[in-house]
Structure 1
Amino acid sequence: MPHALLLAPWFPPCPGGAERYAYRLYEQAVRNGWTITVATDGHTRSLREAVPALEEGVYRLTRYKEQLSDNRRVTWRSMQFSVLDELHGLLDGLRPIDLVHANSIETAVLGRIVADHHDVPLVVTIHEHAPQTETFGRGRLRLAFHRLAPDAVIAPSSFYYERARAQGVPLDRVHLIPHGVEVPPVVPARPSTGHGPAWGLPEDTWVAVSVGRIYRPKGTLELIRAAAIARRRAPQLRVVIVGPDGPSEYARAAREEARRLNLGEVVRFAGPRRPEEMPAVLWQADAIVAPSLAEGFGLAVAEGMGLGKPVVATAVGGLADLVADGVNGEVVTPGDPESLADALTRLATDPERCARLGAAARRSVLRRHHVATMVAETTALYASLVMTARQSPATVSTLSHNGP
């Protein structure tokens, strides 16, 4: 059975779309004839705490920190390469790898070194939706997409595909493989008392759930202001925000705005949830709302759609792949609380529209975003790259070094 090394900076139980993507490949690739070994940071709690049977093949690296704190070593060299020593020891104890798959920009650097050492193809999936805004962002993008010369770039949405093409990745090296989610065969019916009691809210409450870190790209402030408008038109409407605070003062400002607008009974900050809790969280919603100002894919939106939930979302980034206005959800203008309030009101006051859009949402995810399809297409790409590498005497990528 061919063997891939998947390099992931974080891995479940750490939450996030990139982390769930890595986990789904790790868990299900064996069904398509591949074994995946995961190397990830060990300074997070082990997956064993949540699901004991799922730790095999996941290696959580920790010894690199010893090098960083060793004053006898050149610190800057350790910053760059300390993980490589631990990776080398790990791979020495495993059967040979046939391919390296890097799940971020920083692991793409490690991945290129490991792939070149073993003369195997390098695949990268860059989930960061706005690396150009980081320090030396333009350089980071050119490094990942051009200088490291990946043999294949997997784009989980059209947003990522277009970005890779704009960075000069040749057409035959960028592959649109939509991010996939689990879709249950049967979705339980809505409780007769509604979803409100699950959140400590009154019976017959209509609940819109928003999932994601509370920071500006998620549009949380716009959602709070929309709730203030919509509650006057649909008194039964409540908004539940599920996710951790972001790395700024934005979350505090969002809570202050909810208090200023007297939304204590309308907007509920429910905090973060573990990945294994997310199916229940999303099922306990009448609709999923994603007022994002920027979004690479929209994992919670896709998962909610798979549960038959209608969606209110902005047409930004990967959300445009998921939601079609009036077909499987409501598309609203980014940054416009009034537009968002109108859409929430339409759904909260029209159960038949909710049911119709929700059923269509489930069908669209089954057709385009099922996890089995994602894994099958990804492992087929792996196989093609390995076959090409074995047939060619030169396995190191020949991508031109002249980029944008």
Structure 2
Amino acid sequence: MRILVLSDRIPPENAGGAEKVAWTFAQGLALRGHDVTVLAATSSAAFTDERSGIPVHHIHARWRPRFTAYWSLYHPGVAAQVAAKLDALRPELVLAFNVHTGLTYHSLTLAKRRGIPVIHHLQDAMTFTYGKLVHFATPEARCPIESEQYRLPPLYNLRTYRLRYNPLRNVVIRRVLGGVDRLTCSSAALRDAIVANGGRAPDVVHPGVDPAALDTTPEHVAALRARLGLDGCRVILVAGRLTPLKGSVQLLRAVQRIFPERPDARLLILTRASPEQQGLTDDTFRDVLPQIVMGGWLEGETLAAAYHLADAVAAPSICLDVFPTVNLEAMAAGKPVVATCFGGSPEAVADGATGHIVQPFDIAALSGSLAALLDDPERAAAMGAAGRGRFAEGFTAQHAAARMDAVCRSTVSGN
């Protein structure tokens, strides 16, 4: 089947979680025998290349971010380029991922006008709000989250986004999505949030990661441990930039409780961002800075080695974190995860078996869960092994591709 994958950005130009998911699905479908082409956007000149045997077409799309609520619906320059690509490539199916920062929602309409079946895979809350879904993530929030907690308060978008607000935006998006053949999404949590805010219920298709990407050797792990000055240390890993929405304040408060009695404990953060950019130099947290290690941006086997040297992986987001692939990467590496109850993490991490699900504002629970894993290596290893088994049973890239392949075939056949 000729499948055209749409994604605003893809790696390596943008290596965010949503972009990695789109590219992993594209690769997985190609490996299952489909003729896959990717259409992405770039703020520079348009270009075409080939990656891992997959043709990739980048069209030029650029506008001022403050006007995204308008241009993400329809942009004449983008529309002309997308239409030309659809006519030239003649796909039998369009599988769209994020289209709200470059390719525009109108790209879905252009495909439907040409009689092409369209699947739109939703990866965030942008179909009904303008950023991360955060209003429900409070110290008082009940966990596990119930669907009504996701519902936006009246006039929330207008009050929150003010001059960026477009009163027709959500109406247009809902109309466009009502015309596509199939909606899918990355987690049941996102599905519940969409439905709670009046959207059409998508089918859940969990993403996966390639288990081979987490393979490494003891020698590589030892070399990275030595390079980062972590010999003899117990390590909590954060695989990405530690921002407020990723639970930076909550995690730093947690390690303030953990570190004083554990001078050999370290918080390893993998990001290009400086400590200043992440707010780590705030006087409030100056006492834990000596035990924080900035690992930089790691890729390939070096990233795998970072997971393998960790004793626990932390993912305490305070927003709807739809389905963090960091959980899957940790599980593939055999490491226990302490993850947020907000979003899709509970769908991957089995609480008490492969890690812990916590209310991230509950600092005692967050710090206690992490400390218990540091203090009991046998328990941590058992949880990590259980996580690896759970990952192998249903969360590999191959499992994800098979799930999406079934959706693609049933959509084209009309079932």
Deviates more, 1:31-40 or 1:350-359: 31-40
Deviation at 1:322, TM superposition (A): 1.6
Check 1:236–1:193 CA distance in 2 against 1; reply closer, same or farther (3 A cut). farther
Deviation at 1:352, TM superposition (A): 0.3
Q: Is 1:362 aligned with 2:361?
A: no
Indicate the residue corresponding to 1:148 in structure 2.
Answer: 177
Which stretches in structure 1 are left out of the alignment for 5+ residues?
A: 70-74, 390-404
Deviation at 1:27, TM superposition (A): 1.3
Indicate the residue corresponding to 1:91 in structure 2.
Answer: 86
Deviation at 1:105, TM superposition (A): 4.8
From 369, 375, 379, the equivalent of 1:343 is 369
- Write the distance in 2 (CA, Å) between the matches of 1:125 and 1:54: 22
Deviation at 1:239, TM superposition (A): 0.4
- Write the distance in 2 (CA, Å) between the matches of 1:228 and 1:40: 43
- Deviations 1:44-69 (CA, angstroms, capped at 9, x unpaired): 799999xx85364111113x56xx89
Deviation at 1:197, TM superposition (A): 2.5
Indicate the residue corresponding to 2:39 in structure 1.
Answer: 39
- Write the distance in 1 (CA, Å) between the matches of 2:15 and 2:262: 33
Check 1:181–1:332 CA distance in 2 against 1; reply closer, same or farther (3 A cut). same
From 350, 355, 358, the equivalent of 1:324 is 350
The SS at the match of 1:292 is coil
Q: Is 1:279 aligned with 2:304?
A: yes
Q: Is 1:388 aligned with 2:383?
A: no
- Write the distance in 1 (CA, Å) between the matches of 2:78 and 2:168: 22
Q: Is 1:120 aligned with 2:116?
A: yes
Indicate the residue corresponding to 2:234 in structure 1.
Answer: 206
Deviation at 1:161, TM superposition (A): 1.9
Q: Is 1:177 aligned with 2:205?
A: yes
- Deviations 1:213-269 (CA, angstroms, capped at 9, x unpaired): 3322100121112112101232221001223559xxx96462123774322321123
Q: Is 1:243 aligned with 2:271?
A: yes
The SS at the match of 1:61 is strand
The SS at the match of 1:212 is coil
- Write the distance in 1 (CA, Å) between the matches of 2:223 and 2:283: 22
Q: Is 1:313 aligned with 2:339?
A: yes
Contact 1:155 1:178 in 2 (8 A): yes
- Write the distance in 2 (CA, Å) between the matches of 1:186 and 1:213: 19
Matches within 5 A, 1:285-300: 285-294=310-319, 295-300=321-326
The SS at the match of 1:39 is strand
Indicate the residue corresponding to 2:98 in structure 1.
Answer: 104
- Write the distance in 2 (CA, Å) between the matches of 1:47 and 1:231: 50
Check 1:46–1:206 CA distance in 2 against 1; reply closer, same or farther (3 A cut). farther
Amino acid at match of 2:327: V
The SS at the match of 1:232 is helix
Contact 2:267 2:292 in 1 (8 A): yes
- Deviations 1:90-116 (CA, angstroms, capped at 9, x unpaired): 33433x211112212524613322222
Deviates more, 1:221-230 or 1:254-263: 254-263
Matches within 5 A, 1:131-170: 132-134=129-131, 135=161, 136=165, 140-149=169-178, 150-169=180-199
TM-score by length of 2: 0.78
Aligned-residue identity in percent: 24
Deviation at 1:20, TM superposition (A): 0.9
- Write the distance in 2 (CA, Å) between the matches of 1:192 and 1:387: 48
Indicate the residue corresponding to 1:8 in structure 2.
Answer: 7
Contact 1:187 1:308 in 2 (8 A): no
Contact 2:187 2:206 in 1 (8 A): yes
Contact 2:247 2:318 in 1 (8 A): yes
Amino acid at match of 1:209: L
Contact 1:315 1:323 in 2 (8 A): no
Amino acid at match of 2:98: S
- Write the distance in 2 (CA, Å) between the matches of 1:252 and 1:170: 38
Check 1:101–1:208 CA distance in 2 against 1; reply closer, same or farther (3 A cut). same
Contact 1:314 1:334 in 2 (8 A): yes
- Write the distance in 2 (CA, Å) between the matches of 1:139 and 1:281: 46
